[in-house]
Structure 1
Amino acid sequence: MKDMPWFYTVSLIIGLLLLGPFAVAEHPTRKVISVDVLGPYSSPQEQELLFSLKQNLLDKYDIGLKQNLLFWQKQPNWASYISNTEADYIITVGQEALDRVMSVQTDRPIIALMNTADSIEILRQNPHDGFYAITHEQPLVRYFALIKSLNIYQAQTASFFSDQNSYLKTRYQQLSRFFNLPYKPLVVNPQLKTLDAINQLISCCRIMLHDTDRIYPPGRSRKSLLVNSFRHRLIVIGNSQNMLQEGAMLALFSKPYTIGEQTADLIYQIEKNQVKERYQYPDKFVLDANRRIAKLLGFSELTLGELIGQIETLENVYHEMEQ
């Protein structure tokens, strides 16, 4: 460097100092795992989830992550690729991706993300070796804890079932009895107009619980149901932020970032052979409100922070008593 002008020498030294670990091979001793990610297409939710997964693996556990994205709507050879992959894990995003990968022969561990709560319960009853899952849907007890926290005296809650899933009513009735809440299951035909559902609802109940999209998924029928519920001054508790714009007063949901964080914890547990629960509900959740609707329904003083604290307390009490 003696032949270089002094300012070039100083600039070079400063540059090396700023580059730090990037001036040499980056963390040559760090463990790096690879994953094949299968989803229908790239979405903002998937991007947020995978960013969180990579960031939390690195920040919390010093594990690097290589991601290979596969989209079954665009890549017809995805099944062949997954069958012969050398990735450490296969990650599915969404219920349909999970359903598709179940028919593929692979010896890699599979982690299903953003699948339905119904599939979590099925997996718990029929465990699969080398199979893990985290749903984005909330555990049912969390919704009933929210309804209990609202403290609306003798307000009856209703939720919808079809003939095909009427067997689920027992679980709802058990939780309503545990929390001492009036409850009525309503059996409807989701293929017909929503008039029957609305008439059943307004004749019996003050609260409508929409905890999953199994009966009325996003679309015209659900919007009609929510608008008419609001017109009849019914409190709607929904499962997504979008429902607040459609007429729900409250919504319980988990953000993709926190699902990614929980997935990082699960992968670390798998790596250490210390998995606590293979099929999981979200650890963290968000409670949001449509303040305009809440005020019109007589809940102008709604305090979400207090409600969240009560939900967590009631949920913990339930699990302690269930053990």
Structure 2
Amino acid sequence: MIGYYVHHHGGGHAARATAIARELEAPVTGISSLPRPDGWPGEWLQIPLDEGDEQSDADAHGQLHWVPLGSTGLRERAAVISAWIAAAEPRAMVIDVSVEVALLARLHGVPVAVFALPGARGDAAHRLGFEIAAVILAAWPPQATGLVTGLTAAAERRLAPVGAIGRLAPFPDERSAEDPHRVLVLAGRGGDEFSPTALDRARASAPHWTWEHIGGSGTWVDDVGPSLSAASVVITHAGQGALADVAAARKPAVVVPQTRPHDEQHASARVLAAGDWPVIVRDRFPDGGWETLLERASGLDGARWEQWNDGNGAARAAAVIDELAGRRSR
């Protein structure tokens, strides 16, 4: 048995976890405050939210990320996870992401695989999570060096970049010859600069382009595949899930990183800008000049995304996790 903790913020963690869980050989139980995702292949343990007061030493004097004093939810979720570990006797646990849950599992004698996210992760809590982990999974390719900083040399040796993991299997860029000026704005749940006002200005500066806006303040769809397939260029934030989907569709992109903790999206954007990826990076959503920007982007070769997302990231991550669980069973 493998336990798989899924962070409840945003939709990317659950999508990634589901893709990996479906590739695992060992049976898996998901653990999260989220409801069970569609397609989850095993059991699902829904746990309470760890709500609390930020002023109540919620970071344990800077040593952890979120352990608010007096939080009933925090106490109950730790108790539920502990009871599950005692009953299920998991061979390993995957943590995406929580330093506190990783530490809880390791204190029960369970080896943990943790996910690294992009950005500056040298604070005490991140370092603790990385140092106790048996393996550190990274959902980006080995070629994308420098996406995470702050790891010790020992943690770096346990870092396993497996490639992007998204909701879509890769498919060729077959944009329409009849509609070669179609742009998709791909927004996320975490807030972004892609506001209706900003997009009105962008449309006005690129009148020859057909615009579609999904996510954020736009239309929400369950399957982004058809919209990505129809686009000539994608304007996207720099979240891992969005980049994985754009890469799967082999679409050239204009990447506008959004403000996130630990400089997460800006770190990804810097690595993309420095490499041979089919993107144009802008630090903020431009007020104008989109006609020229989109024409430049449409000339980039989307096939260069293959190294970022070759479709095998979930399988590689599952192989690492299965190996970790098997290592303990021998």
For the aligned pair, the TM-score class normalised by the smaller chain equals 0.3 to 0.5
More helix as a share of residues? 1
Kindly name which structure, 1 or 2, has the bigger radius of gyration based on alpha carbons.
1
TM-score by length of 2: 0.35
